[in-house]
Structure 1
Amino acid sequence: MAKRRIEIMDTTLRDGEQTSGVSFSASEKLTIAKLLLEELKIDRIEIASARVSEGEFQAVKNVTNWATQNNYIDAVEVLTFVDKGVSIQWMIKAGAKVQNLLTKGSLNHLIHQLKKTSNQHFKEIEEVINQAKEHDIETNVYLEDWSNGMRNSKDYVFEFLEFLSAQPVKRIMLPDTLGVLTPRESFEFILEIRSKYPQLHFDFHAHNDYDMSVSNVMEAIKAGADGIHLTLNGMGERAGNAPLASVIAVINDFLPDIKVNVNEKSLYTVSKLVETFSGFMIPANKPIVGANVFTQTAGIHADGDNKKNLYFNDLMPERFGRKRKYALGKSSGKANIQKNLQELGLQLNDEDLKKVTERIIELGDKKQVVTKEDLPYIISDVLDRTYEEKVKVNSYVLTHSKGLRPSTTVALTINGEAHEQNAQGDGQFDAFMNAIREIYKKTHLTTLPELIDYAVRIPPGSHSDALCETIITWKNSEKEFKTRGLDSDQTVSAIKATEKMLNIITN
């Protein structure tokens, strides 16, 4: 049995741009339009509202020029209005060939916004449709507030559909404008309309106000919808529209009789580009495209993935051009760490792996995310401890106040004997070193080596909470040597490097 094909119309550049604070430049619109049609293989795109601004006009013109040259012009749509042909003239100048005419799909909107009768509204719509036809512009019709129309003024909706069935209209678009439908209503309303008008093409346009847009789209397709409207990252007014990536995954995995043309593998890269252009950040837990959705945190899950993929579902990251990650932190087990080590091409014996695991858990209590890029630094820090721990820095107080010299109070144990000292310096670490020197001067244990180099590194791509590795080069009468310290605080990482030095030199 042949699969039923559903049209996907992406309205990121029109409805998605109505996200608060989002405005794409003309060049960004053109780039996104190209990616939607050529990379993602979207069937149709709605790119703008007519009559908005001169900048919007130029953006549309750029897209239509490109689309005409590359045979996509019939897939480029513009929202228009019942305005005695003003929108049609705008479209002609912009080079657009498909209008999505906004009309009133509920009696409430008709009476209270337009203050007209249904016959008056229908007559004006017919005039716009005929004007479009005269200029070879194809017409689709939006029934704004259709969902409330079906709930509260169904007779009006069917009167409207009866009128449209006799018009030269290609598609009738049924929007849940306020995002109020339940999945059951979505199914029942569209099935009722589909049954009465089997020859007409119906699109369903979902909003996400109750977080039911994906479910509503799924039910609309089951009921016989011919097309669905989606946006990248679920962008749109208020709570946004039905998200493209989630809906495509649902169709491919749960509706075996339905076919769509969308290229899943490019969903993530295009979504990330739109995130950059729009400034509308993708939530980390957003299905398919969120930063965390293919990241296992619990060690038991990583262990299960090593044993017949016990914690995998059909949403394999490779489908979407992504990779599974294994988070490192206080919930990590050896399995998480082994997965990350494999990706880095590193191997550790069981004893060293245990030490590294303990260190990651310790760091995870301080720093929520420990990344794969942190791992070599942690390994270096842990495996560098080849000395007997004779010196332990038990506690310290670091102070830095404007107008006052930094100072440090240090408490440490040397060969089981406790010492405490306060000192000032040119910085917090300098004050710490001065305090240590005073302690060693008093104890006559040994002379501290000279600090000859101090280097700080953080893993690539890190942020302000990154792990910080401090590498200090010391010189005494015999040789030069280096010690490393690792912490999310730079001064603390230097103190840890110094603690290692003290253990190396102390007899």
Structure 2
Amino acid sequence: MTPGGTGVRYVRFLDTTLRDGEQTPGVALKPEEKLLIAMKLEDLGVDSIEAGYPAVSEGEFKAVRMISREVTDSEVIVLSRSVRHDIDRAIDADVKAVHLFIATSDIHMKYKLRMNREQVIESAVSAVEYAKSHGLTVEFSAEDATRSDLEFLVKVFQSVVDAGADRLDIADTVGVMWPSRMAQLIKLIKGRVRGNYLLSVHCHDDFGMAVANSVAAVEAGADQVHGTINGVGERAGNAALEEVASAVRFLLGYRTRIRFERIKDVSEAVSKLFNIPVPPNKAIVGANAFSHESGIHVHGILSNPLTYEPIDPSMVGMNRRIVLGKHSGRHSVEYALKMLGIEPNDEVVSRVLRRIKELGDSGVNITWEDFKRIALTEIKGEVSEDSRN
């Protein structure tokens, strides 16, 4: 059941830009910068903000505590290993929710944890019980879940649910899933792990499928998705929250708390503070996401935008852009001339279009200022010819 009492499925979003996103190589945010992003995420409407990992440093602890005291409309959650020291730091940072994790794949248990399966379960259960005894909401992640033995994964999840975990998270830590396999895993966990919990996914983009895997998980029954703004994160990054949320809302038709018109503003803030430009062809928030050059496309867009746009760009805080270049047609030029306040006639349109195509064939990227100069030059040329006649 969704907030408001309707029967349409509601999907939660946990944003981890400030934790997993900040683990992007070369990125280090000041506490004040993390707070600024957190406030924008709260305004965006994410359900949970993973503010950081307070046990990692004093600066991180300070940032988490600042965020937990300022953010009131989103849950503030922090990362913690399944050890008491980390949980105590979370408690000291004034948060009400903790994201516990421990690896469950054989390769992680053998080479990283140096623990056997029984020890892993014991640590996970002990951590969950300890966190719950301090009144914390607990989300439990099985790190490298997607490379774990499925029977063991089910056993771990069932054990932590029995210990009181509120949410479970399937972490595709090295991005090895694909959509159909992710859907199967979601159904398996929901079918075999009994209890009152929400099921989440945390997808990495090592094979370029983090968004697709997240959407497939939701369609298969997952209740929550972890994501980062612009898909920032370690290695190839995480699932881009703005892409998953848009797909969940506009394609699957499920409900969320996301205020989609705020997406572009948050994307720009993260890009600036992380010093990572948004690729122009990036879905939803890229400069070219709602840009059109092809003459056939522009003709369609000007007749009905839905011919070549899946949604109105204003729905995600974006603007439609008509680009002029060698692929342009007469409709593009007519539209651009009208934007300049010039009523186009066939001769001027032909002159301007011919010049644009010549420049485009020469490899010139035509800006709006270039177009104005071309248009005025060709109009003057037509006037001069008329005067001679």
TM-score, scaled relative to structure 1: 0.71
Deviations 1:155-194 (A, max 9, x none): 2112212211211211111111110011111011110110
- The 1:249–1:138 alpha-carbon spacing in structure 2 relative to 1, beyond 3 Å, is closer
Give the Cα separation in 2 of the matches to 1:147 and 1:5: 25
| Secondary structure class of the residue paired with 1:259 | coil
Deviations 1:26-52 (A, max 9, x none): 2221111111112x1111111212322
- Confirm whether residue 127 of structure 1 aligns to residue 126 of structure 2: yes
Give the Cα separation in 1 of the matches to 2:276 and 2:323: 25
Aligned length: 378
Tell me, yes or no, if the aligned pair for 1:143 and 1:173 is still in contact at 8 Å: yes
Deviations 1:352-404 (A, max 9, x none): 2222222222232345421234332222233333658xxxxxxxxxxxxxxxx
- The 1:382–1:230 alpha-carbon spacing in structure 2 relative to 1, beyond 3 Å, is same
| Secondary structure class of the residue paired with 2:281 | coil
Deviations 1:258-282 (A, max 9, x none): 2212111111121112111111111
Give the Cα separation in 2 of the matches to 1:345 and 1:164: 66
- Confirm whether residue 46 of structure 1 aligns to residue 38 of structure 2: no
Give the Cα separation in 1 of the matches to 2:305 and 2:64: 48
Residue of structure 2 equivalent to 1:435: none
- The 1:57–1:368 alpha-carbon spacing in structure 2 relative to 1, beyond 3 Å, is farther
Larger Rg: 1
Residue of structure 2 equivalent to 1:145: 144
Residue of structure 1 equivalent to 2:18: 13
Residue of structure 2 equivalent to 1:63: 67
Q: Which amino acid aligns with 1:93?
A: D
Residue of structure 2 equivalent to 1:4: 9
- The 1:156–1:237 alpha-carbon spacing in structure 2 relative to 1, beyond 3 Å, is same
Give the superposition deviation at 1:198: 5.1
- The 1:7–1:309 alpha-carbon spacing in structure 2 relative to 1, beyond 3 Å, is closer
Give the superposition deviation at 1:309: 4.3
| Secondary structure class of the residue paired with 2:141 | strand
Residue of structure 1 equivalent to 2:209: 212
Give the superposition deviation at 1:71: 5.3
Residue of structure 1 equivalent to 2:172: 176
Unaligned runs of 5+ in 2: 1-5
Tell me, yes or no, if the aligned pair for 1:107 and 1:156 is still in contact at 8 Å: no
Residue of structure 2 equivalent to 1:267: 263
Identity of aligned residues (%): 33
Give the superposition deviation at 1:343: 3.1
Q: Which amino acid aligns with 2:271?
A: E
- The 1:42–1:368 alpha-carbon spacing in structure 2 relative to 1, beyond 3 Å, is farther
| Structure having the larger proportion of residues in strand | 1
Give the Cα separation in 2 of the matches to 1:189 and 1:244: 21
| Secondary structure class of the residue paired with 1:181 | coil
Unaligned runs of 5+ in 1: 389-507
Residue of structure 2 equivalent to 1:36: 41
Deviations 1:437-489 (A, max 9, x none): xxxxxxxxxxxxxxxxxxxxxxxxxxxxxxxxxxxxxxxxxxxxxxxxxxxxx
Q: Comparing 238-247 with 374-383, which one deviates more in the overlay?
A: 374-383
Give the superposition deviation at 1:310: 6.9
Residue of structure 1 equivalent to 2:236: 239
**Aligned ranges 1:104-503 → 2 under 5 Å:** 104-149=103-148, 153-197=149-193, 199=195, 200-256=197-253, 258-309=254-305, 311-385=307-381
Give the Cα separation in 2 of the matches to 1:253 and 1:293: 16
Give the Cα separation in 1 of the matches to 2:214 and 2:365: 36
TM-score, scaled relative to structure 2: 0.91
Give the superposition deviation at 1:312: 2.3
Give the Cα separation in 2 of the matches to 1:285 and 1:43: 28
Tell me, yes or no, if the aligned pair for 2:338 and 2:344 is still in contact at 8 Å: no
| Structure having the larger proportion of residues in helix | 2
Tell me, yes or no, if the aligned pair for 1:172 and 1:201 is still in contact at 8 Å: yes
Q: Runs of 4 or more off by more than 6 Å in structure 1?
A: none
Cα RMSD, aligned residues only: 1.9
- The 1:50–1:310 alpha-carbon spacing in structure 2 relative to 1, beyond 3 Å, is closer
Tell me, yes or no, if the aligned pair for 2:54 and 2:93 is still in contact at 8 Å: no
Q: Which has the higher contact order (CA 8 A, sep 6+)?
A: 2
Deviations 1:289-340 (A, max 9, x none): 1111211111121122233447323222121122211111222222112222
Residue of structure 2 equivalent to 1:496: none
Tell me, yes or no, if the aligned pair for 1:50 and 1:87 is still in contact at 8 Å: yes
Deviations 1:189-235 (A, max 9, x none): 11011012353321111111111122211221122111111111111
Tell me, yes or no, if the aligned pair for 1:41 and 1:262 is still in contact at 8 Å: yes
